[in-house]
């Protein structure tokens, strides 16, 4: 009996020792790296002013590269995930939330930032310019600039914009994301001009109208466009339920458009 109890006690103490050692080992595990590598986020913000597709750029009044043009960006905070950080940067610059935001690509060339090794996770956003916070934009010394007037940007920001524009053109041909650039109420010709601005090409008016109406994405408001001095077209609004469906389904608005 004594031997059996002693054996059980020994086994118990061994198990306790194992758990204590295992816990201590787990507490001691941590990652180390000899070099500091920063994680930044850069946001490419597209808007449409009724005539052309524009970028929201900042004229830098801070170093590095003071006085030059760049995208809006910032560093990832310790408590943030990437999506939250991108939303924070977008809100700080425009005052907007619940906008279309998509991760584009990671840029990690060794010498992309001359100050310190920095990896940039890039997002692009589509916003309705009418909803922007003008004061926030002024605070950051930001300006809406047409794609044709885009100045040279710092670091690899030009390549980021090019990648974002390619992604936008690809996605807008298959999904309904062009609506993100529109005001709450719009005419079909106004919507067509958005897509023409995205692709820098004219689209057939009748084909565009027929295709858009066939998707059930539009809901008539019963109102007319009073801003037009000529033909006062029918005003529509977006069918939000259908829109959510078309974010995942392929629509193929423009079968004549060749996708790269």
Q: Kindly report, residue by residue over 42-58, the tens digit of the pLDDT.
A: 999 999 999 999 999 99
Find residue 144's DSSP bridge partners: 56
Q: Which of 150, 186, 136, 190 is closest to 55 using CA atoms?
A: 150
- Domain with 91, as residue range(s), is 38-172
Q: Which of 128, 132, 238, 236 is closest to 187 using CA atoms?
A: 236
The predicted pLDDT at position 249 comes to 75
Q: Are residues 25 and 97 both part of a single domain? A: no
Q: Are residues 50 and 22 both part of a single domain? A: no
The predicted pLDDT at position 259 comes to 52
The predicted pLDDT at position 143 comes to 97
Token pair 């922007």 is at which residue? 132
Structure letter (DSSP) for residue 66: T
| Domain annotation covers residue 113 | yes
Q: Are residues 150 and 46 both part of a single domain? A: yes
Structure letter (DSSP) for residue 148: G
The predicted pLDDT at position 13 comes to 44
Q: Are residues 48 and 157 both part of a single domain? A: yes
- pLDDT tens figures, 145-178: 999 999 999 999 999 999 999 999 999 988 889 9
Tally of domains within the chain = 3
Q: What are phi and psi of 61, to 5 degrees?
A: -110, 30
Alpha carbon distance 260, 249 (integer Å): 19
Alpha carbon distance 198, 47 (integer Å): 10
Q: Are residues 86 and 12 both part of a single domain? A: no
Q: Are residues 181 and 167 both part of a single domain? A: no
- pLDDT tens figures, 1-19: 544 544 544 544 455 554 5
Alpha carbon distance 243, 131 (integer Å): 20
Q: Which residues lie below 8 Å from residue 35, measured CB to CB, with a gap of 6+?
A: 117
Q: Are residues 210 and 131 both part of a single domain? A: no
> Which residues of the chain fall below pLDDT 70?
1-28, 30, 229-230, 251, 253-260
Structure tokens at 118: 């920095």
Q: Looking at residue 99, which CATH number applies to its domain?
A: 3.90.79.10
Mean pLDDT taken over the chain: 88
Q: Are residues 54 and 162 both part of a single domain? A: yes
| C-beta of residue 127 within 8 angstroms of C-beta of residue 99 | yes
Reported in sequence order, the residue ranges of 11-137 that DSSP labels E, i.e. its strands, are: 38-48, 53-59, 69-70, 72-75, 100-107, 118-126
Q: Are residues 89 and 213 both part of a single domain? A: no
Show which of 141, 172, 203 is a domain's final residue.
Answer: 172
Q: Which residues lie below 8 Å from residue 131, measured CB to CB, with a gap of 6+?
A: 96
pTM given for the model: 0.85
């Amino acid at each position: 009996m004594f031997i059996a109890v002693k054996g059980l006690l020994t086994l118990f103490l061994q198990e306790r020792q194992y758990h204590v050692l295992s816990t201590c080992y787990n507490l001691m595990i941590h990652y180390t790296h000899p070099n500091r590598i920063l994680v930044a986020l850069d946001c490419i913000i597209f808007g449409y002013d009724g005539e052309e597709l524009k970028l929201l750029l900042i004229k830098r009044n801070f170093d590095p590269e003071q006085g030059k043009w760049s995208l809006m960006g910032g560093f990832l905070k310790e408590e943030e995930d990437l999506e939250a950080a991108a939303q924070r940067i977008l809100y700080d610059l425009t005052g907007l939330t619940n906008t279309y935001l998509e991760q584009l690509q990671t840029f990690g060339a060794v010498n992309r930032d001359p100050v310190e090794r920095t990896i940039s996770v890039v997002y692009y956003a589509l916003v309705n310019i009418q909803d922007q916070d003008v004061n926030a934009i002024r605070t950051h010394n930001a300006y809406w600039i047409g794609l044709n007037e885009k100045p040279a940007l710092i670091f690899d920001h030009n390549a980021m914009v090019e990648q974002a524009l390619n992604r936008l053109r690809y996605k807008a041909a298959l999904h309904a994301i062009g609506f993100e650039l529109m005001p709450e109420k719009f005419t079909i010709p106004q919507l067509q001009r958005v897509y023409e601005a995205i692709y820098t090409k004219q689209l057939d008016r009748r084909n565009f109208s027929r295709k858009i109406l066939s998707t059930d994405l539009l809901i008539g408001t019963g109102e007319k466009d009073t801003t037009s001095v000529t033909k006062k077209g029918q005003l529509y609004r977006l069918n939000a339920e259908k829109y959510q469906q078309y974010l995942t389904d392929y629509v193929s608005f423009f079968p004549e458009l060749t996708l790269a």
